[in-house]
Amino acid sequence: RRLPVVMFKLNMAETLKAATTFIEQGHIRVGPEVITDPAFLVTRSMEDFITWTDTSAIRKQVMEYNDMV
């Protein structure tokens, strides 16, 4: 299972193309490392560790929307 597909299933992106763009631009990390390769394979145990990077503008927008700032 590739990373863009998992992001789409987790509702982190509206489309697969958007998920691929987020990954290529460096907005996604799996555990402590930033992933920039859309062909990155994700195991089921790694699914829980997919998050936005700390400096991501998208993460800031999501947090503002959820009133977590």
Q: What is the CATH number of the domain that holds 57?
A: 3.10.290
SS3 of residue 40 by DSSP = coil
Of 29, 69, 58, which Cα lies nearest the Cα of 46?
29
Res 60 pLDDT > 80? yes
Compute the distance between CA of residue 5 and CA of residue 16 in angstroms, rounded to an integer: 6
Quote the number of domains for the chain. Answer: 1
Q: What is the pLDDT of residues 17-52, one digit of tens each?
A: 999 999 999 999 999 999 999 999 999 999 999 999
How many of the other CB atoms lie within 10 Å of CB of 29? 16
Res 68 pLDDT > 80? no
> What's the sign of the alpha-carbon dihedral 65, 22, 7, 28?
negative
**Can you give the residue range of the structural domain that contains 46?**
3-66
Our measurement of the distance from residue 44's CA atom to the centroid of its chain's CA atoms, rounded to an integer in Å, reads 15
pTM for the predicted model, two decimal places: 0.89
